[in-house]
Amino acid sequence: MTTRRDFLTSSAAAAAALSLRPQQAAAAAPTPRITASRPVVISSANGLRGVKVAYDRLTRGADTLDAIIAGVNIQELDADDQSVGIGGLPNADGVVQLDASCMHGPTKRAGSVGALEGIATPSLVAKAVMDYTDHIMLVGEGAKRFALAMGFKEQELLTEKTRQDWLRWRARLNKDDAWLDHDDDVAIKFTTGTINMNCVDAKGDISSVTTTSGMAWKIPGRIGDSPVIGAGQYCDNTVGAAGSTGRGEANIKVCGGFLTVEFMRQGLPPEQAVLRTLERLVAMTEQRLLRPDGRPNFDIQFYAVAKDGRYAAGTLYEGAQFAVCDEKGPRLEKCVHLFARPSR
């Protein structure tokens, strides 16, 4: 028999459930547990070599975060790659300052470093922050001192190629200054050099990492989205992972990594999740950064992988690609996009 107390308790619970808005009810519902997945690694296009390394490690039983950090280390240690690590494009003072963050789905832990100088692999320093401290983010001189204490070796990150790019940029800032312009036929790079990588293994465990040398010629001390947990990348082992490359200032305002994962939590597939995040980013773009047609005058990409192995990447303007590796091998695929590429 049902007692009066049982009846009142069940009635109150039912009434509370009915009073929830649909969004609240979806948030309150438990996330379905997936016990098996299709292993896959995705990243920005500059990680084509890295996704293969990470995938091979995954299939040999490596931890998800260890696997993708090994993948991004390839770019960090490549002196000819000016997107991150050795040879990364410097700030306005000619100093290479690196940022990185990582999240480990199974343990729900994270680590981050910002404005790190003299250490080529900020992704590994971010993981050391996660593994050995009660903190999540270390920056500047403190981050460097921590890295040296952990055994990382200091080295010069500014290569001669990168130094020459910086000298060309500085010389052309003011035609009336004391610096002579040179190599006029060489284009000056203005770049946001970053690599984001996300993965899921056969058990459904997930991790994410983003590492960067940041915006070229930035004001010293500038921090972009890459070391910001929830912006440059985010991981939830019950749902998936997401990260970004491109204009970090735009991404920070929408917490794009977190937002993309939350869209997947609500049931959207990765393709729709990245597009919804891009729509939100456009809505939050300030007027000075909009073209006459109301669209942003910059581009940005988001990458997402779900716990079951589905994946996608999205960009504002068509034409961008991203890297993926699964049982079919490493390859580049097209990003979904919001807008056609603007004509010049």
Distance of alpha carbon 83 from alpha carbon 52, whole angstroms: 19
Contact 286, 180 (CB under 8 A): no
CB-CB contact of 300 with 311 (8 Å): no
Catalytic residue among 121, 162, 192, 194: 194
Q: What is the Cα–Cα distance from 96 to 73, expressed in whole angstroms?
A: 17
Question: Which residues contact residue 21 at a Cβ distance below 8 angstroms, ignoring those fewer than 6 apart?
Answer: none
How big is the CA angle at 168 (ends 165 and 170), to the nearest 5 degrees? 110
Beta carbons within 8 Å of 44's beta carbon, 6+ residues apart: 194, 195, 196, 197, 245, 301, 303, 322, 323
Contact 196, 208 (CB under 8 A): yes
Q: Whose CA is closest to 46, among 216, 197, 262?
A: 197
Active site residue 3: no
- Positions marked catalytic: 194
